[in-house]
Structure 1
Amino acid sequence: MNKTQAKMAEAKAFSSVEKTALVLLGMGEDAAAQVLQHFSRDEVQRVTRAMANLSGIKSEKAKGVIQRFFDDFRAHSGIRGASKEYLSNTLRKALGNDLAKGLLNNIYGDELRNNIQRLQWVDPEVLAKFIAQEHPQMQAIFLAYLPPESSSRVLSKMPPDYHDELVYRIARLQEIDHEVARDLQELIERCIDHVSVSHSAPIDGAKQAADIINRFDGDRGQLMEMLKLHDESVVSDIEENMFDFMVLGRQRDNTMDVLVQAVAVELWAMALKGSEIQLQQAIKRAMPQRMVKNLEDEMALKGAVPLSRVEKARQDIMQIAREMAENGDIELLLYQEQTVE
């Protein structure tokens, strides 16, 4: 492959939007602004997002895309991506202050949301303590950008007499300027650094082991017997965590015949939302045809439901199954034990 072919191959690696972004980055703010004036709103959004995201594009690759701007690119070691200042100046000249401000807020608002997503797995109490010393407005902005489930858990760990003020501040938020966005980004980065340095990642080993065994396609009984050779108390802990909804798909027919009658159709309909087809079929096989019809109608009627309600329904059914097993009404198999003649 000669140099010309190599450059053409490199150019094809970029999408048309990325090629446009490269050209605009090399043109300078004034020229780029004039070009953007002729774009549709959707085109402006797509191209400016690409301009913001481009990074590490070396001059050699850029020349394959925009050779007529060779002299301009030769003075640089590479295109590192459009800064907020560059995009702000370019968009302001192309669209005016108000439109430029709105578009930039969308671009960098998405960036903030993506970054703060990394904190949703952190213990809510840790996050609450970390932002405790921040100004109430920054606390409100921080909570506003967190996913709602995480935000509500963090809020619950903060002083109760302070909840209404924070929620009020969140409700009044409409947009944040670039300076506040930069402060929030710094807060997110400091929080990530703080968590990574001072906190270990908690994990429930017994629950994780139980989840693995529940989904293990091999001989679960033999695996459990081998684990008992290590430590029987560990096996007991694992078994306590094996009461997972999916184990219902491998129960004996007589067990399921009794269980389906003990659980209301409405509860089954909620619990089976989003479950594997094989599990649904196993449970339906144990039901009378009329009950199956009622179940399917109920599931269709419910439509989309929150995952938390589905998980709660599954836990309720497994609690019923566990109590019935303890009372001797059913024999609930967590795994198939080895047998001898």
Structure 2
Amino acid sequence: MPNNPPAQEEAKKVNLPKLDQAAILLMSLGESTAAEVLKHMGPKEVQRLGTAMSQLKNVQQYEVEVVIANFMDEVRTQTGLGMGADNYIRNMLVTALGSDKANGLIDRILMGGNTTGLDTLKWMEARSIADIIRNEHPQIQAIVLAYLDADQSAEILAYFPEKVRLDVMMRVASLDTVQPSALQELNDILEKQFSGNAGSQTKDIGGFKTAAEIVNNLDSSIANELMESIKEVDEDMGTQISDLMFVFENLKDVDDRGIQAILREVSSELLITALKGADEDLQEKVFGNMSKRAAELMRDDLEAKGPVKLSEVETAQREILAICRRMADAGDISLGGGGEAMV
């Protein structure tokens, strides 16, 4: 007998990461509709979705049906669609991102604002940004890196000489707020208008946490070298940055519920590559939060994977850490500074 697609209730239990579900949904919408949706997303979301779409293989028809059915279920629960949509979108963005991050998106989506100034850099390649700010004052470089996402800032920093990295990272860690005039100066440097009005209020930017997130995204050799240099110049600053860093090995200190939530968001292939560089304790932590069958399959796949380049392992670990930080920011899991789980 031919295999029939699972019943809808059973199909809804198919364990597809949310990113893959979003990629399947966009591909099922068609090119023009998907393009309209992507216009309202930030550069990181577009990049992540684009990568996910390019990696989709052997998607079953019932999986497409499940994704669409689940999407429609969620849409039916939204009362803001069609009536007072502006307020609904505004409230949703503020709730999801916080008022500071939401303001730029609100301007672009609701008021037709354009992505200009510093926001434009988020769409550029790291090497191009490094070339643009290479000859600027280190304080300007620090503000740019503190403003951008940590993973992008880490890529930019990797193009700088060692001494410049040290100077810029210490400035990032020392930042607290930035005056509107400083942001306006950046706009003048970039020869573009800043997205929206700079306003009259100072902006929280930089600090030890931002510095720690940037260092987390550097290659381990560069990160270790940079942290040693920072501690040589200012031991207290280096210690405070280290205490806020969360590295892949710290996942063993996340509670079981958090690990299970992370596993739902990470693809098996990415996890296998990342675990190639993990110690036995962390591997067992992961296996212990899977079903017995899934753990056995993962062990077999890990053994069959064979040798993997260190750079590939570190890239996979950084991608998983980025997912963890995103989930932590959303309140889905708890990550403690210095590797301690928050309760």
What TM-score do you get using the length of structure 1 for normalisation? 0.31
Structure showing greater Rg: 1
> Between Structure 1 and Structure 2, which shows a larger proportion of helix residues?
1
Point out which structure has higher relative CO (alpha carbons under 8 A, 6+ apart): 2
